Amino acid sequence: MLNPDLVGRTFEGVTSTTITAESISAFARSLGEPEIHLAPPTFAITISLEQSQSVLVESGLDWSRVVHGDQKFEIYTPLMAGMQISCNSTIESARVVAGNEIVTVRSDLINAGEVAVTSWSTLVFRA
Amino acid sequence: MSIFKVGEVLPAKTYIINRASLVAYANASGDQNPIHQDEDFAKSVGLENVIAHGMYTMGLVGQYVGRMAGSSSNVKEFSARFTKPVIVPANTDVELVVSATVVELTDEIARLELSVTCNDVKVLGMTKAVILL
């Protein structure tokens, strides 16, 4: 079970990710969009989910038991190739329902000191 | 002047999901969880068969929202609940049907509620988007 003291804590990303035109076009192509230069609305997940995974696994949760429950994005500035993104993840809530642990992580994707996209992932760790 | 009206249902679009598209999404997104590619593994953890990544399904809906908004750069908010898995048997094209209803309009934005079904089963719930006009 997640240590309740971690709720509210922010984990700053230790590395930054440079968004490439190739990563955007591969993601867009996999969604059936042949030619696109702007990141699809859900592209932020390629950065935020990995960070959430590392934070929660380090906090003792078993990633092999995870199911994605809810997802929300707020997009202030669309992600584009060339942006260098750092990601801060905050454990916003954690509760146990019927033995399943439900954790919501907010990830702020920061470009040049400004939050470009905020992603909230609610993850269910099955009992 | 908005091109939308409150209560208007926007044209539905059908997206095809199959095993090859799940592999392409896994490679592009980095989510290589075997429940999305390996039938034996999926069954070993109690699933009926391989299931689509929730974020793949949501990603396809995001493309729909971007199209309705004129560009993905006009999508300001997008959220969904993963209600039911999309089951993807081998050698099968699964159809994902997406449509939207305009529920609110202001001078700047439209708020959409989306319907996302697979074989008439709702697979995403509470699917909402805010787009810039």
Condensed to tens digits (0 to 9), the pLDDT of residues A34-58 reads: 767 789 999 999 999 989 999 999 9
Low-confidence ranges of chain A (pLDDT < 70): 35
Per residue of chain B (133 residues), give pLDDT as tens: 468 999 999 999 999 999 999 999 999 999 898 999 999 999 998 899 999 999 999 999 999 999 999 999 999 999 999 999 999 999 999 999 999 999 999 999 999 999 999 999 999 999 999 999 9
Q: Which residues of B touch A78 (CB under 8 A)?
A: 72-73
Model pTM score:
0.95
Question: CA of B58 to nearest chain A CA: how many angstroms apart?
Answer: 8
Closest alpha carbon to A119 in B110, B62, B27: B62
Predicted pLDDT at A126: 86
Across the interface, whether the CB atoms of A29 and B28 are under 8 A apart is answered: yes
A42 to chain B, minimum CA–CA distance in Å?
6
pLDDT of residue A35: 67
Which residues from chain B sit within 8 angstroms of residue A73, using beta carbons? 77-79
Query: How many CB atoms within 10 Å of residue B108?
Result: 11
* Cβ contact, residue pair B75, A29, below 8 Å: no
Instruction: For residue A67, list chain B residues with Cβ-Cβ distance below 8 A.
Output: 82
Residues of B in contact with A50 (CB under 8 A): 30
pLDDT confidence of residue A40: 95
A109 vs A120: CA distance, rounded Å: 11
pLDDT at B61: 98
| Alpha carbon distances (Å) from B125 to A51, A104, B58, B61, B81 | 25, 17, 11, 12, 5
Domains identified in chain A, total number:
1
Asked if the Cβ–Cβ distance from A38 to B76 is below 8 Å, we say: no
∠ Cα B27 B75 A16 (to 5°): 50
All domains of chain B in start order, with CATH: 9-17+53-132 (3.10.129.10)
Which tokens go with A38? 């702007």
B58 touches chain A (CB under 8 A): yes
Closest partner residue to B71 among A38, A49, A120, by Cβ?
Answer: A38
List all residues 6 or more positions away from B107 whose beta carbon is below 8 Å from its beta carbon: B133
Closest C-alpha among A127, A112, A62, A57 to residue A82: A112
Q: Which residues of B touch A39 (CB under 8 A)?
A: 72
Position A65 scores a pLDDT of 86
User: Domain range for residue A51?
Assistant: 4-125
Q: Residue A88 is part of a domain; what is its CATH number?
A: 3.10.129.10
| R_g over Cα of chain A | 15
Determine contact: B77 vs chain A, CB below 8 A: yes
Measured between CB atoms, does B34 come within 8 Å of chain A? no
